Amino acid sequence: MTNLVDIPKVNAKNMTEKEFFYGHKACAGCGGSIAVRLALKVLGERTYTALPAGCMSAVGFIYPQMAFNTNAIITTFPGSASMASGIAVGAKALGQKDVKTVVFAGDGGTADIGFQALSGMIDRNDDVLYICYDNEAYMNTGIQKSGLTPYGTKTTTTPAGDNIPGTITHKKNLFEIIAAHDIAYAATASIGYPQDFLNKVNKAKHIKGATFIHVYASCPTGWGTPTETSVEIAKDAVDCGLIFLAEFEDGEYKLNRNPKQFAPVQDYLKKQGRFKHMSDADMQCVIDNRDKKWSRMRKHWL
């Protein structure tokens, strides 16, 4: 395996100024497009990018305006991982060296419809970095619930009313499900902590085989937040403990941040239109779930 200590670091100073994702039609303040842009700066020109149906493909490839300056392809919605596998294996069979294949898929394309293919890709250990940008709903089809939509969220398929308080399931435990495949490297990240995200992409870039990054990526349109607060809100999510920064490497979990005290969850929720309707009891349910999760992580991952 690659010795991860020797990998040259990336930061704002030594990163390329070239844009590989330029002129796309994403909404102002789109967190997903920030994730794609940053990751491609780390991955560079010898990258094949595969994206399933979802916002990032919808805003990137509207013929004849193509937003990717490097090779990129829209995959079938359920087949992003398998198509990327095919690209990586095809490149290998053709003798191409120093290439990387990356997937950028939404939470729905990853945790729901595309999950089977993703599991197969990791099982085969194909040379693909799979990045799930998590905006916590199906945004491209108009804000419907996905398996990663958190408890209490109002979406167009989980409307909040007198009888049901929006989404009543908790986020699927994606990171650990991926880790359970014994993948060489998996991580969580947030566009609110860009340097951490860049480091993780950089690490994954240098590993031959399947790797996975789950990056929290705000969506002003779906969340009901001001466009200029996208990065801030993605940071808030980490600071209040609803999103955690962690890695899974060599069979071990690692918590990258373990705050002594969390920022108030209520402040994070109240800033967003999608949670406006939540009662104190619903917020308490979110907090209890967070605390349970953290006590488990602290017990086993530290």
Partner 1 sequence: MKSNKIFISGDEAVAQGVRLSRPHVVAAYPITPQTITVERLAEMAESGEMEGEYMHVESEHSAISATMGASSVGARTFTASSSQGLLYMAEGLHYCSGGRWPVVMMNANRSVALPWSIYGDQRDSLSLLDCGWIQVYVEDAQEALDMIIQAYKIAEHKDVLTPMMVNLDGFILTHTYELVDIPEQEMVDKFLPAFQTPNKMSFEEPKNLGFSSKPDDNTEFKYQQNEAMFNSIQVLKDVDQEFADTFGRKYDGMVEEYRCEDAEVVLVALGSVCGTIRVVVDKMRAEGKKVGLLKIRYMRPFPEAEVKDLAKRVNAIGVVDKDISFGYEGTVYTNVNSAISKIDKYVYKSNFVGGLGGRDITKDEIEEMFNKLFSGVENKSEEKVEFFSLNVESND
Ligand X SMILES: Cc1ncc(C[n+]2csc(CCOP(=O)(O)OP(=O)(O)O)c2C)c(N)n1
Considering only residues 28-47, where is the footprint of ligand SF4 by CB under 6 A? 30, 32
Phi, psi of 213 (to 5 degrees): -130, 130
The single residue among 32, 60, 209, 241 that binds partner 1, judged by CB under 8 A, is 60
Residue 166 binding: pick among partner 1, ligand SF4, ligand X, none (C-beta 5-8 Å cut-off by kind)? none
Q: How many residues bind to ligand SF4 according to rule CB under 6 A?
A: 12
Instruction: Say if residue 257 is exposed, middle or buried (CB neighbours under 10 Å; 0-12, 13-18, 19+).
Output: middle
Considering only residues 207-226, where is the footprint of ligand SF4 by CB under 6 A? 219-222
Q: Is 272 in the site for ligand SF4 (CB under 6 A)?
A: no
Q: How many residues bind to partner 1 according to rule CB under 8 A?
A: 45
Residue 108 binding: pick among partner 1, ligand SF4, ligand X, none (C-beta 5-8 Å cut-off by kind)? ligand X
Which residue has its beta carbon closest to ligand X? 106
Q: Is 93 in the site for partner 1 (CB under 8 A)?
A: yes
The single residue among 36, 38, 42, 59 that binds ligand SF4, judged by CB under 6 A, is 59
Q: Which stretch, 56-64, 162-170, 213-221, 254-262, contacts partner 1 (CB under 8 A)?
A: 56-64
Residue closer to ligand X (CB basis): 31 or 194: 31
CB of 1 to ligand SF4, least distance (A): 34
What's the chain look like in SS3?
Answer: CCCHHHCCCCCCCCCCCCCCECCCCCCCCCHHHHHHHHHHHHHCCCEEEEECCCHHHHCCEECCEECECCCEEECCCCCHHHHHHHHHHHHHHCCCCCCEEEEEEEHHHHHHCCHHHHHHHHHHCCCEEEEEEECCCECCCCCECCCCCCCCCCCCCCCECCCCECCCCCCCCHHHHHHCCCCCEEEEEECCCHHHHHHHHHHHHCCCCCEEEEEECCCHHHHCCCHHHHHHHHHHHHHCCCCCCEEEECCEEEECCCCCCCCCHHHHHHCCHHHCCCCHHHHHHHHHHHHHHHHHHHHHHC
CB of 85 to partner 1, least distance (A): 5
CB of 131 to ligand X, least distance (A): 12
The 10 Å Cβ neighbour count of residue 59 is 20
The footprint of ligand X (CB under 6 A) covers: 32, 53-56, 77-78, 106-109, 135, 138-141, 146
Residue closer to ligand SF4 (CB basis): 44 or 224: 224
Q: Note the residues at the interface with ligand SF4 (CB under 6 A).
A: 26-27, 30, 32, 55, 59, 135, 139, 219-222
Q: Note the residues at the interface with partner 1 (CB under 8 A).
A: 45-46, 48, 50, 57-58, 60-63, 66-76, 78-79, 81-94, 96, 99, 116-117, 119-120, 123-124
